[in-house]
Amino acid sequence: MEPISTFLAQMHTDIPRLLGLLIALAGGLFAAGSFVRRRHPTPGGVGAATSTGRIVYSDTPTVRVAKSQRVDRVRKLARLAAGEHFDVLENHGIPVPRFRVTVKSIGERAGSPTAHILVSYGGTQVSCGPAVEEVASNEFILPLTKRDDPRTTVFHFHERGDALDFMRVRLRGIDADGAAEIDLMQVSGNWLKG
């Protein structure tokens, strides 16, 4: 009987140490979980429900300049196979997509991979750089480039008195499965007049 009572007496004096160890262990697990979630975000909720492509990267910072000034930036990398589309901005029930990119086909021109894309930008006509071939209205053949070259992008720029709207689409790569990795960016800014 005496060994049990000695054990209980020692246990009674070690309870604060055990409680401290338990709290430190729980804090360490919480910190590790936060670190892993921050490094590897889950793609849930990213993109519209009708999109078929996979998001590789998503960055959406909003910069507040002053009380009534605001700059919104959306940048996403999407992997799309031929026939798939991706809605960069949610449509909110309107029939014309606000910003949708559809990969029609993946091919090759002059020994370099290309992607044939269709861009829907709220019914607006978009432009392209000189190295991009425009096939039809808002339909382009994008060449693959390894650097950020504005000559190989599809873009739209519109400035009103108190607002700025900019969009860019670029082909970043084609993976082994034949899917195109498309870099999509949209920036809009509003500020005070005068």
Let me know whether 110 and 186 are in one domain: yes
Together in a domain, 80 and 121: yes
Do residues 185 and 118 share a domain?
A: yes
- Tell me, yes or no, whether 36 and 114 share the same domain: no
Domain contains 46: no
9 and 34 part of one domain: yes
One digit per residue, the tens of pLDDT, for the chain of length 194 reads 566 677 666 666 777 888 888 899 999 998 888 877 776 555 444 433 445 566 666 666 666 566 567 778 888 999 999 999 998 888 777 777 888 999 999 999 888 899 999 999 888 899 999 999 999 999 999 998 877 788 999 999 888 878 888 999 999 999 888 899 999 998 888 876 65
Residue 190 three-state SS? strand
Which residue reads 């360490």 in tokens? Answer: 28
Judgement on whether residues 92 and 27 belong to the same structural domain of the protein: no
Pairwise CA distance, residues 186 & 76, whole Å: 9
Whether 79 and 128 map to the same domain: the answer is yes
Which amino acid appears at position 89 of this protein? L
- Beta pairing, strands 69-80 & 62-66: antiparallel
Same domain, 86 and 26: no
- Residues 119, 143, single domain; the answer is yes
Chain-centre distance for alpha carbon 81? 17
**What domain range includes position 151?**
54-190
Q: What pLDDT score was predicted for residue 20?
A: 87
Domain match, 34 and 62 both:
no
* Residue 48 belongs to some domain of the structure: no
In a domain, 104, yes or no: yes
Instruction: Judge if 62 and 8 occupy the same domain.
Output: no
What is the tally of structural domains in the chain? 2
Residue pointed to by tokens 């000695």: 6
pLDDT of residue 116: 95
pLDDT, residue 50, reads: 47
Any residues with CB less than 8 A from the CB of 132 and at least 6 apart, and which?
A: 140, 141, 142, 143, 151, 152, 153, 154
Domain identity same for 107 and 181: yes
